[in-house]
Structure 1
């Protein structure tokens, strides 16, 4: 099971990573072996759809996206094997939350740690432009490909 946690809001990076990984797992005929989701570390955007620029980027690449923002729960640390995040701030927040959950089993890592181009941090494109969303998409493709290869 895989969960990807983006920034505070769960409307840009993590929904892109979720959609990319779902498509890769589907194309590799292993999607039934995974529970794939994304969530936020805050409550700011709960119930909202992904940013329209991220949706447009994925549509351009033929990657379906169906997502509604939600917050990470204590149960996530008990049910997911991996929780992958986008930056050091989220990594720190998630580790603190995991420490408060008895029997937490989730391995918490940066998604960028799987990037063959060694770009460890996936930068939030919210205040950027379409090319910033494209950069997030490309980095997620590289990272998810390596993660899937190592865990299939």
Structure 2
């Protein structure tokens, strides 16, 4: 059984593609790419078809994390059938996800990425599109993705 993880932010050019790329590297390093797949999407439509933001690309390159193949798209109702876990970057994203969900889902878990961070649990990942602080966001995403993968491995016995 494939485990599918979708990361969601507002425009799908900063936080969620960063999380997708970081998580993909962690899954690959754990040799679980055949069992765990990931993608990212935005709640908004403004950046559909665009690559990640320059700041996201820059920090990922600096950290030797590939963002190859990541192109912005908007979340759709089909995502609730196709993804086991939907991980949002902030409370506003969760609200938008819940509006789309309308009770029709195969998703086992929907929550925030920082729920997996020991220091910032329950908080929102700040939007570096607004703050410019891609390094801080990367550090939050990186540790949260480590813990998310460990949680999924325990939950799914992989």
Relative to the length of structure 2, the TM-score reads 0.89
Q: Deviations over 1:49-89 (max 9, x none)?
A: 11011101010000000211001111100110000001110
1:151 CA drift (Å): 1.1
Q: Unmatched 5+ residue regions in structure 2?
A: 154-158
Task: Find the residue that maps to 1:141 and give its secondary structure.
Answer: helix
**Structure 1 residue runs of 4+, over 3 Å off?**
none
Where does residue 87 of structure 1 map in the other structure? Answer: 90
Where does residue 137 of structure 2 map in the other structure? Answer: 136
Relative to the length of structure 1, the TM-score reads 0.93
1:127 CA drift (Å): 2.3
Provide the rounded CA distance (Å) in 2 between the counterparts of 1:74 and 1:128. 30
Alignment of 1:30 with 2:32, yes or no, is: yes
Provide the rounded CA distance (Å) in 1 between the counterparts of 2:124 and 2:22. 17
Provide the rounded CA distance (Å) in 2 between the counterparts of 1:143 and 1:20. 10
Q: What is the total number of aligned residue pairs between the two structures?
A: 147
Provide the rounded CA distance (Å) in 2 between the counterparts of 1:123 and 1:72. 20
Where does residue 97 of structure 1 map in the other structure? Answer: 100
Where does residue 8 of structure 2 map in the other structure? Answer: 5
Of 17, 20, 23, 1:21 maps to 23
1:105 CA drift (Å): 1.7
Where does residue 81 of structure 2 map in the other structure? Answer: 78
Alignment RMSD (CA, Å): 1.1
Q: Unmatched 5+ residue regions in structure 1?
A: none
